[in-house]
Amino acid sequence: MENEYLLLTPGPLTTSNTVKKAMEKDYCTWDDDYKNITQSIRHSLLKIAQVHPDDYTAVPIQGSGTYGVESVISSIIPNNGTLLIAMNGAYGQRIGQMADVYGINHVDLVVDEQQPVTKELVRAEIEAHPEITHFAMIHCETTTGILNPI
């Protein structure tokens, strides 16, 4: 059945028929097919990042974008670290809320929701706060439609 709805919101919300067709096959986590696919994805991610597998690994996680962001924010910032968070929409603000819940020190770079985060703004914030050890920014802030340059 063809989906008669075309979602016009930012983000990958409409699923194509080819993706739905591929999802008709069940994969079990203990099957070799599944393990081969997962290993291929993990190795491809390391290749894209241009890092060596002796030094790095990729761990696919299942969940929403917010889940992915929270898994990273809650696990990589050390107790003595400070996170710079660029905020120009709801998802950037959500990172600040996550940091509060986890007791992570953070500096908020609040940018107008109609403007992208620029490297000049980030650089100025880092110079003003030498305690910053990590940086978080939403690349595609779907709540505002802003694509922040990386």
Q: Any idea where the domains of the chain sit in the sequence?
A: 17-49, 65-147
Q: What is the pLDDT of residue 8?
A: 57
Q: Global pTM?
A: 0.73
Q: What is the pLDDT of residue 44?
A: 96
Q: What is the pLDDT of residue 116?
A: 96
Q: What is the pLDDT of residue 118?
A: 97
Q: What is the pLDDT of residue 85?
A: 98
- The total number of residues written for the chain in this structure: 150
Closest CA to 66 of 45, 82, 89, 43: 89
Q: Measure the CA–CA gap between 86 and 76, rounded to whole angstroms.
A: 17
Quick one: residue 130, left, alpha or beta (phi over 0 = left, psi -120 to 50 = alpha)?
Answer: alpha
Q: What is the pLDDT of residue 6?
A: 61
Closest CA to 58 of 42, 69, 38, 76: 42
- Cα torsion angle, 90, 95, 101, 103, sign: negative
Q: Which residue in this structure is represented by tokens 């979602």?
A: 7
Class of domain 65-147: alpha beta
Q: pLDDT 10s per residue in the chain (150 long)? A: 566 666 555 555 667 788 778 878 888 888 998 899 999 999 999 999 999 999 999 988 888 889 999 999 999 999 999 999 999 999 999 999 999 999 999 999 999 999 999 999 999 999 999 999 999 999 989 888 899 998
C-beta separation of 106 from 81 below 8 A: no
